[in-house]
Structure 1
Amino acid sequence: MSLLGPVEIRNLANKLDLRPTKKLGQNFVIDAGTVRKIVRTAEVGPSDVVLEVGPGLGSLTLALLESVDHVVAVEIDPVLARQLPVTVGERGLGAKLTVVEADALRVGVSDLGGYLPTALVANLPYNVAVPVVLHLLEAVPSLRKGLVMVQAEVADRLAARPGSKVYGVPSVKAAWYADVRRAGPVGRSVFWPVPNVDSGLVALTRREPPATRAGREEVFEVIDAAFAQRRKTLRAALASWAGTAARAEAALRAAGVDPSARGEQLEVGDFARIAENLPRP
């Protein structure tokens, strides 16, 4: 099947009078080799239903449709959402595509046309990449794996391990849902327009969250508090969350965590234990 190259992308953009916007994070992949590499790296096949966010003009969508059972594409731009079925239909694959015109930060299972996606594969808008990943992992529990293309710096943060300089809130919250790893770099020249930053691939494999009596929201509150003031010890950083520094220390000691440690030293399971050990007044 013919995929979209630089000429086809620009012709489609001209037809739609499209001017890519930074606000929507619109940088379209114009290299067929890159989208086929993404599909291979995502390890998706005929049994998979793929959730794609921000399909744009359809570069990655077409490559996915070559390999998977169905693609549910969530597109916020109404012009692009209307064009995508036309582009796909011209290649005889319309029955394998469902387009949802919506904000990916607001969609849930009930919005996906009756499909239960098994994989998230997407070239995500840089400005909302982390919130989109976290939201979809929570809102679409059928997702078992994923491969997302994001800004290289964001890829590093998502995949960071405790002790890394870039380990922080995105790293820990993503680890609540999945094992996360870097899956390769992506150069700037494969996009139109060319972004001023490099990109990277991040692979996610769903796993169960840590066993804990605390709820996800409670654990995430601890994570947010711990990294709000990175240079402070956890005893100090969690004082507001716990009510006092003394109560924070009690929670930390009950969780088996050194009160003088800092957030970047802890794994997601440590934060879960802290959340469930907050002393009640």
Structure 2
Amino acid sequence: MLDSIKLGQNFLINTGVLEKVIEFSDLTKDDCVVEIGTGMGNLTGYLAQYGGEVLTFEIDPILYQKTLQELSSNSNIHFFNQDFLKVDLLQILAPFSKYSFKVVANIPYSISTAIWYKILQIPVLWTRLVLMVQKEFGQKIMAQPGEKKRVPLSIIFQMRYQVQQRFEVSRGSFRPMPRVDSVILKCLPRAYPPDINTINRVANLAQGFFKQKRKKISNLLRPIIDPLIINDAGIPITKRPEDLTNLEWIRLSEILTQTKEVEP
């Protein structure tokens, strides 16, 4: 179990919180649920009870064997002793295409950003995500234009999903007890989200600009394009990266892509 602690896994043991997670997940037998980090299987059992099929990933071989043995009577749980970040998730999901796909998990905090990027960039529009995250990380995901905590992941995730903070969870609800409090986020798909190509284009642009986030957009653009072209397109070049709206990021990425395409 020491390996799991190194990976940033803190096991949720508070039954009341587990029941809240299930409530927010709104599971039916038509759902195929992905869980990242089986852990002790505390949440996994609930998912199997209320959902249709459960695909649960655990990288720690000891925990994998333990939960596999304890929950083996649940024929709708599919255990994977694999690194979620390295699996071909589309291939794994393919046999379950008749189901609606959801992600419900208490994800390892140390790799939260990588997990959220993978969830986002898979060409599947999840019908719901209910994720337990570190409170500070949750604030970043929810940060709006102009807020200091806004990061590239805030921008691209909000383009595809509406994010709501549903519940704060104290550190005493976990073993081992983390040094931080947590929140449960519920994410619902937007009616008309941008496609994955647009998401990736904005992600690459935002990641570059946020490396110099205190600079104004005009200064960041000057080596690439005449900033006045961007200003004339309705994107205020006096703003900083954290101030741009999601639509402004999409428009900016489109203009820069078009400019590259017409270059000799």
Q: Structure 1 length normalisation: TM-score?
A: 0.83
Name the structure, 1 or 2, with higher relative contact order (CA <8 Å, separation 6+).
Answer: 2
Moved more, 157-166 or 187-196: 157-166
Mind listing any 5+ residue stretches in structure 1 that lack a counterpart?
Answer: 1-17
> Contact 2:3–2:60 at 8 Å: present in 1 too?
no
Matched to 1:273, the amino acid is: R
Secondary structure of the residue that 1:49 maps to in structure 2?
strand
> Contact 1:53–1:123 at 8 Å: present in 2 too?
yes
Secondary structure of the residue that 1:277 maps to in structure 2?
helix
**Residues 133-154 of structure 1: per-residue CA shift (max 9 Å, x gap):** 2212322505221010010000
**Residues 65-98 of structure 1: per-residue CA shift (max 9 Å, x gap):** 2211111001111222222221112xx32x1100
Cα offset for 1:218? 2.0
Mind listing any 5+ residue stretches in structure 2 that lack a counterpart?
Answer: none
Distance 1:276 1:155 in 2: 29
Q: Which residue of 1 aligns with 2:33?
A: 50
Which of the residues 226, 230, 244 maps onto 1:266?
244
Moved more, 127-136 or 52-61: 127-136
Q: Runs ≥4 in structure 1, deviation > 4 angstroms?
A: none
Distance 1:248 1:57 in 2: 56
**Gap change, CA 1:88 and 1:248, over 3 Å in 2:** farther
Cα offset for 1:32? 1.5
- How many residues align? The count is 255
Q: Which residue of 2 aligns with 1:104?
A: 84
> Contact 2:160–2:189 at 8 Å: present in 1 too?
yes
Cα offset for 1:209? 2.7
Secondary structure of the residue that 1:50 maps to in structure 2?
strand
> Contact 1:98–1:113 at 8 Å: present in 2 too?
no
Q: Which residue of 2 aligns with 1:114?
A: 95
Whether 1:185 aligns to 2:163 is: no
Cα offset for 1:189? 0.7
**Gap change, CA 1:195 and 1:114, over 3 Å in 2:** same
Distance 1:98 1:113 in 2: 14
Alignment of 1:79-90 (within 5 A): 79-89=62-72
Q: Which residue of 1 aligns with 2:114?
A: 131
Distance 1:22 1:237 in 2: 41
Distance 1:140 1:53 in 2: 18
Distance 1:157 1:187 in 2: 19
Q: Which residue of 2 aligns with 1:227?
A: 210
**Gap change, CA 1:102 and 1:255, over 3 Å in 2:** farther
Whether 1:198 aligns to 2:181 is: yes
Matched to 1:216, the amino acid is: I
**Gap change, CA 1:55 and 1:230, over 3 Å in 2:** same
Distance 2:16 2:246 in 1: 36
Secondary structure of the residue that 2:2 maps to in structure 1?
coil
Alignment of 1:148-159 (within 5 A): 148-159=131-142
Whether 1:69 aligns to 2:47 is: no
Distance 1:46 1:84 in 2: 22
Whether 1:38 aligns to 2:21 is: yes
Distance 2:226 2:133 in 1: 36
Moved more, 187-196 or 159-168: 159-168
Secondary structure of the residue that 1:118 maps to in structure 2?
strand
What percentage of residue pairs aligned between the two structures are identical? 27
Matched to 1:34, the amino acid is: V
**Gap change, CA 1:122 and 1:24, over 3 Å in 2:** same
> Contact 1:147–1:203 at 8 Å: present in 2 too?
yes
